[in-house]
Structure 1
């Protein structure tokens, strides 16, 4: 089994990378130059995706974890914050980056047969839970959720299952020190979710600990 994880150099992505290292072949990506099992990928750049696809060549991928993402608008003020370039940068990483990753690595997923794609979204994507604030991050993660649901419909006939996941409120640079769970707890829960994902459950939106999340 070969797994590829984007944004695997820190936080939840790195915890997932370390977990899968113990189980078999895993490839991580980060924006820095290639370093062992970490390959260079800037998810916002089409040319970077093309280079990664060329490096992987015909390598079959059983699981693609679209984890790379940014949260730039924490603490922004509605009255004078949320500048246009922050919107553009966030959507480039959190939405377009997911699509480009799937698009460029689809041949590798097809080669595996019965492959899976996991998209790390957030409970902040839910339109049923909308307490306000963090407009850019919420909107980008909602778009990633919508993207995953529609990709699931298109890829189901090709035998590729897609799951969208809330990783929990995790103690990382993004989540902060007051968050509920550690990266190891999040990774263990997410790996269990990825294992359980099947073509019958494709398009699911679930929490790290196995609960269905409201859309």
Structure 2
């Protein structure tokens, strides 16, 4: 199986890469720097994302995991002076636009394999959990969820299943050291969810441990 993972240099992305490689699968990973054998892709740059297609060539892609993400507004507290426009632009570009552009760039490869797309959203994007903070992150993850739901419908005729997932509260730079699970625990659970994804479950929004999540 050929797996493509965006944002594979650290955290959940790196753990997913290690998980699939340990199982004997071919993994193509991306990062901003391109260090460590990863493909350099800047998720805010459409031309850079299109370059991912050139790097992969005609190789079929069985699973595209859109994992790369930003949480720039974690410390923002003021509605009066916080949440600057540039922060909205960058975070929405990485968390929403980039997953679409990655799917678009690799659509021929996904079609060739009858592949799957996994979009990592977050429970913070659920309309049932509007807490009034982290406004950009929540909005971006809600949009990523909506994107995944619409792609599931749009790509059903191509035989490409799309799932959207909450990776858990993970001990990463984004989640913090007090988070409840390790990157490897998240990756193990997510890999099981991706394996179960298929035509009958396309459009699912699930947690890393297999629970259906309210939209």
Query: TM-score when scaled to structure 2?
Result: 0.97
Secondary structure in 2 aligned to 1:200?
coil
Residue equivalent to 2:160: 160
Secondary structure in 1 aligned to 2:117?
strand
RMSD over aligned Cα, in angstroms? Answer: 0.9
> Once the 2 structures are TM-superposed, how far is the Cα of residue 22 of structure 1 from its aligned partner?
1.1
Residue equivalent to 2:87: 86
Residue equivalent to 2:116: 116
Query: TM-score when scaled to structure 1?
Result: 0.97
Residue equivalent to 1:27: 28
Contact 1:70 1:94 in 2 (8 A): yes
Contact 2:49 2:98 in 1 (8 A): no
Residue equivalent to 1:139: 139
CA gap of 1:34–1:182, structure 2 versus 1, over 3 A, is closer
Secondary structure in 1 aligned to 2:139?
helix
Contact 1:43 1:101 in 2 (8 A): no
Q: Output the CA distance in 1 between the equivalents of 2:12 and 2:158.
A: 29
Q: Output the CA distance in 1 between the equivalents of 2:55 and 2:154.
A: 26
Contact 1:118 1:164 in 2 (8 A): yes
> Once the 2 structures are TM-superposed, how far is the Cα of residue 80 of structure 1 from its aligned partner?
1.6
Q: Output the CA distance in 2 between the equivalents of 1:137 and 1:181.
A: 20
Residue equivalent to 1:10: 10
> Once the 2 structures are TM-superposed, how far is the Cα of residue 33 of structure 1 from its aligned partner?
3.3
Alignment partner of 1:53 is 2:53: yes
Residue equivalent to 2:186: 186
Residue equivalent to 2:105: 104
Q: Output the CA distance in 1 between the equivalents of 2:55 and 2:163.
A: 26
> Once the 2 structures are TM-superposed, how far is the Cα of residue 79 of structure 1 from its aligned partner?
2.7
Secondary structure in 2 aligned to 1:164?
strand
Q: What residue ranges of structure 1 are gaps of 5+ in the alignment?
A: none
Alignment partner of 1:151 is 2:151: yes
Contact 1:43 1:100 in 2 (8 A): no
Q: What residue ranges of structure 2 are gaps of 5+ in the alignment?
A: none
Q: Output the CA distance in 2 between the equivalents of 1:106 and 1:5.
A: 15
C-alpha offsets along residues 93-112 of structure 1, whole Å, 9 cap, x if unaligned? 00001110000010110111
> Once the 2 structures are TM-superposed, how far is the Cα of residue 28 of structure 1 from its aligned partner?
0.6
Q: Output the CA distance in 2 between the equivalents of 1:68 and 1:35.
A: 16
